[in-house]
Amino acid sequence: MTGPGDCHGQDTALTGALGYVRRHDPDGAERLEKLLKRKDVLVTGNSYGERMTERQFSLVFDPLLARAIERSRILESLGVEAASVPELARRLGIAPGAVFGHLKELSRRDLVEISGYEDRDALYRRK
């Protein structure tokens, strides 16, 4: 459980995480930063009186940040060498289905491509 004195530590961790994402996926970091800029409006309420609690915002934002970090780790790994979904899953400790989903998204955004095949597995590399 965190107390009032832990807020600075959370801000530092968030800044570090966003910096990591920004290094590997600037567009992904930009989307997260836009959402963070809207946090005050979402928490204090809009003109219709609708508002989110801090907890509700965290329930939305934290998983988005976690997925952005996973995608950044994949991009970082593929920047070193091409790899298949099973290899990335083993190397990064991410479920193969999640790795494949991230690769689909990264491919759609033109950040990775298939560079060849090893047996029946596609080898992905960073563009």
Q: What is the pTM of this model?
A: 0.84
Is 80 exceeded by the pLDDT of residue 9? no
Long-range contacts of 34-40 (CB under 8 A, 24+ apart): 35/61, 35/64, 36/61
Residue 91 makes CB contacts below 8 A (sequence gap 6+) with 77, 83
Per-residue model confidence as pLDDT tens digits over 55-66: 999 999 999 999
Reported as a single tens digit per residue, the pLDDT across 23-43 is 999 999 999 999 999 998 888
